[in-house]
Structure 1
């Protein structure tokens, strides 16, 4: 095949989003006779999208140099900007800074204004955004977007609008920001943008919708991203981030096995060439392990997530709380909230309230709950209202106002049910049971505890199920913590020192059945060892 034919095939495959075919055709043509600068850019894009990031950076460097050879300074500056962005995504700040400086120097050489000057504002604006200066970022992103419109450069207009929305959200104006995200997604879904800007925007918009508690938008755009990735099956970049968002939504909707699978897939794709998926893949796995009572594993996952440079909060503070150190958890979450932007702090508020209450600081919990309630009044999305109602109810219980708590909690429970978030709905129902008990309605309290306990067991939420079980036995009706009679027999024999084989012989069961009973006992009671089961049996009169 001639060089020209290979270039033509590469261009056709690139237009049709067949990245592997584009890579093969372009690479062959490059070996035979070399590629023009624009085709080198296409080859670099195909390499980056298929996970060959190092090769893609080398090819993009060649494209930059070729543009300089032919005297196209604007395109050379643009390549330098993209090289800086890619190195930034890889966490190589020194290389990124060098390429941004080179791009800016070349842009300064241009005789008249050009869209490339707007592109080079984007990394500067991102620097301000990540450094906690959303107002400064907003100004630069707005200028970049205006330059994109002026020069009819759609990628730049969209990236500028995305950044404007992110800065606006961090400044606390959620409704305005969400409208901007919807607008920029129109450009993506209509196919107006190049592949890398499209992927950046998809993932950023979904993450920011979740940061703003807009579950419905996050779900819609995650489904769209899923379709976009499925139409490009050989794409690695952005596919890992898609799996991270899938894991988060599966977790919320109670499909925890599927969430674990999606988180593991995000980690795999992160290692294959989508480094932006590193944090989400491990953070979501850590949250799932925390919910199911695997505290050591959760801590290890959060440590892996921290390698990305992002702080794994509130998950890490909640692990510390689950281990019984409320004061340390309080210090951790307060520090994280103190350095966070407005949007991120709002995301931390439910955990802040939970930890403050566990630490006994009801006054601080009330202040955080009031901030969340204020946000819910400004932006009355169902998920914000549900979280605000649940935190308000929890604080009212601590303040000795069970009647007021009941009203807030029942509204929150209905919203969680409508949203399809079973874990929070069940936790909310436990709080409703506590309010009923404080009001002297023990039968209703037990109904709520028992219903929540069953729901939490079905999810596999061992610690929360144990919490519900401990409340069920408060009137003496259920010292067994929800165990069946057979499970109560098994724990009695465990407490007597018998192993699984001896228990199986005594109860005429198989060892496999005994192991299954033990697994159910650990799950129901929130225990993790035979020693803990023995202690529980003696403490609750089951060892006789």
Structure 2
């Protein structure tokens, strides 16, 4: 067996280091060998070297008069330069690829050249254009017996169908593409691309059960790969998102921090998403300074840190800043209804804290409408919780109770403990408004126990201008104590406690004791004082 054959076999079993060494040691290397060496370098996380080698392969193919192969190398360069954040270079390579293919008879390279074009059309909201090219990609794949191209076309069709609110059809197509991707019938680069798109759809739809299932399957596929190559890092980001929803915050942060470290110089967008995920976990745990730093890093790498940053400002008690932050995020009016739903959910909570019930009601309706249009159980739970909170603020506790109970049941089914606990706080408020103090105490106790299990970190220092005594009162309110019980524990008169409670409501922007409790956990005033 020749050294070249050995190199091909090593690449076929995804032993990229062995394949790299064998290709690098070839004498009389052909343009195809250079291209294969570039792929090995890419899988080993050596992005600069991979781009240089693909550029060499492009030139060698041109010099040899093989425009079809040169176009293939150019399309790879368009993708890889975009991954490292060189958008202008990516567009230049895509134009070169397209120009070369104009003089080449129709072939599979015409299909692969559509990849970034479809992604661009979809990103700009031209779903019909994206769908047309996705179907053309499938047709080219079938005509030239290329299963990878067919699977990519099916994937893109699924993404377009979901954005058209044909969610069941779209998810079925994504599942079909993902099955093909994990069957080892496709090129490994494209297996990872299909997985990333599927996870983006799951996160938009809050379909975390499907996300968990495919993440576990893809992690097994990624196990043989170096951690510094692209897809193990991206898989870590998606796994962190799943773990965060399931309340496994320590593991989620570890996965996200690993991706922050390993993806530098490999995929700038993955690094940005990983930093954002770190910010989300820290915000939920009450590490507000750490969350602020992580959101800042996400922004530095090119990711809009919303709605997390606006919710962080709310947790810090900076209601005016939170209001301005979320309004600015929504102001451009870009993105699909599905993409804007999380922003509207955040705006609902922020507007309620600011006392703008009318704005909160409009935003809650946007979340509900998105949930209905996109048949999303997660968004439906979010919409019911937002609408229930608005109804409570309007004094309509009976109507609120029905929606909050549905939200609670849905979050339980989705295995989202933090969301369950937050919904319990609103249920406690509804029960209290209806005069059922026992039920309110039970919900509050259950929420408090859940926050303790999750490891919400107590914050050192006093947020939103609270005095030390007011912080004591906040913690006792969050523990479910009445004004009389607080007075007894702090050796104060009930009148003094009532004054403290009134001041606290004003400072934190709460309209109920459950609102104060939510603030206590959001701002890190409750829970253990360590990350353990």
Give the TM-score band, short-chain normalised: 0.7 to 0.9
Shift of residue 456, structure 1, vs aligned partner: 0.8
Aligned to 1:476: 483
Contact 2:230 2:267 in 1 (8 A): yes
Shift of residue 245, structure 1, vs aligned partner: 0.9
1:508-528 C-alpha deviation (Å, 9 max, x unpaired): xxxxxxxxxxxx9x9654799
Query: Residues of 2 paired with 1:158 and 1:276: CA distance?
Result: 24
1:442 corresponds to 2:437? yes
1:19-56 C-alpha deviation (Å, 9 max, x unpaired): 11111111111xxx132222322211111011011111
Tell me, what secondary structure is at the counterpart of 1:479? helix
- Structure 1 pair 345–213 and aligned structure 2 pair: CA distance change class (3 A): same
Query: Residues of 1 paired with 2:16 and 2:262: CA distance?
Result: 16
Query: Residues of 2 paired with 1:271 and 1:166: CA distance?
Result: 28
Aligned to 2:2: 5
1:74-131 C-alpha deviation (Å, 9 max, x unpaired): 1211111111111011111221122111111110112x32222222222222223333
Match of 2:171 among 166, 170, 178: 178
Bigger Rg over Cα? 1
- Structure number with the bigger relative contact order (C-alpha 8 A, sep ≥ 6) is 2
- Structure 1 pair 381–341 and aligned structure 2 pair: CA distance change class (3 A): closer
Aligned to 2:513: none
- Structure 1 pair 480–315 and aligned structure 2 pair: CA distance change class (3 A): farther
Query: 1:216-255 alignment to 2 at 5 Å?
Result: 216-233=209-226, 236-255=229-248
Query: Residues of 2 paired with 1:482 and 1:41: CA distance?
Result: 74
1:284 corresponds to 2:277? yes
Deviates more, 1:254-263 or 1:357-366: 357-366
Aligned to 2:22: 25
Match of 2:415 among 405, 414, 420: 420
Tell me, what secondary structure is at the counterpart of 2:194? helix
Contact 2:84 2:265 in 1 (8 A): no
Query: 1:302-341 alignment to 2 at 5 Å?
Result: 302-337=295-330, 338-341=333-336
Give me the CA root mean square deviation: 2.8
Query: Residues of 2 paired with 1:49 and 1:347: CA distance?
Result: 34
Tell me, what secondary structure is at the counterpart of 1:238? helix
Tell me, what secondary structure is at the counterpart of 1:217? helix
Query: Residues of 1 paired with 2:298 and 2:325: CA distance?
Result: 17
Contact 1:84 1:99 in 2 (8 A): yes
Query: Residues of 2 paired with 1:234 and 1:11: CA distance?
Result: 22
Contact 1:172 1:342 in 2 (8 A): no
Shift of residue 318, structure 1, vs aligned partner: 0.8
Aligned to 2:92: 98
Contact 2:227 2:233 in 1 (8 A): no
Aligned to 1:117: 110
Aligned to 1:457: 452
Contact 1:469 1:525 in 2 (8 A): no
Query: Residues of 2 paired with 1:14 and 1:102: CA distance?
Result: 28
Contact 1:115 1:151 in 2 (8 A): yes
1:52 corresponds to 2:49? no
Tell me, what secondary structure is at the counterpart of 2:268? coil
Contact 1:142 1:164 in 2 (8 A): yes
Query: Residues of 2 paired with 1:53 and 1:162: CA distance?
Result: 26
1:338-376 C-alpha deviation (Å, 9 max, x unpaired): 222222112333222212222222222222222332333
Query: 1:21-170 alignment to 2 at 5 Å?
Result: 21-29=18-26, 33-110=27-104, 112-170=105-163
Query: Residues of 2 paired with 1:339 and 1:248: CA distance?
Result: 24
User: Unaligned 5+ residue runs, structure 1?
Assistant: 486-519, 529-544
Shift of residue 73, structure 1, vs aligned partner: 1.5
- Structure 1 pair 222–95 and aligned structure 2 pair: CA distance change class (3 A): same
Aligned to 2:190: 197
Contact 1:291 1:461 in 2 (8 A): yes
Tell me, what secondary structure is at the counterpart of 1:271? coil
Shift of residue 249, structure 1, vs aligned partner: 1.1
Contact 1:6 1:25 in 2 (8 A): yes
Aligned to 1:365: 360
Structure 1 length as normaliser, TM-score? 0.83
1:139-174 C-alpha deviation (Å, 9 max, x unpaired): 333333333333333322222332333333333333
1:401 corresponds to 2:396? yes
Structure 2 length as normaliser, TM-score? 0.84
Shift of residue 472, structure 1, vs aligned partner: 4.4
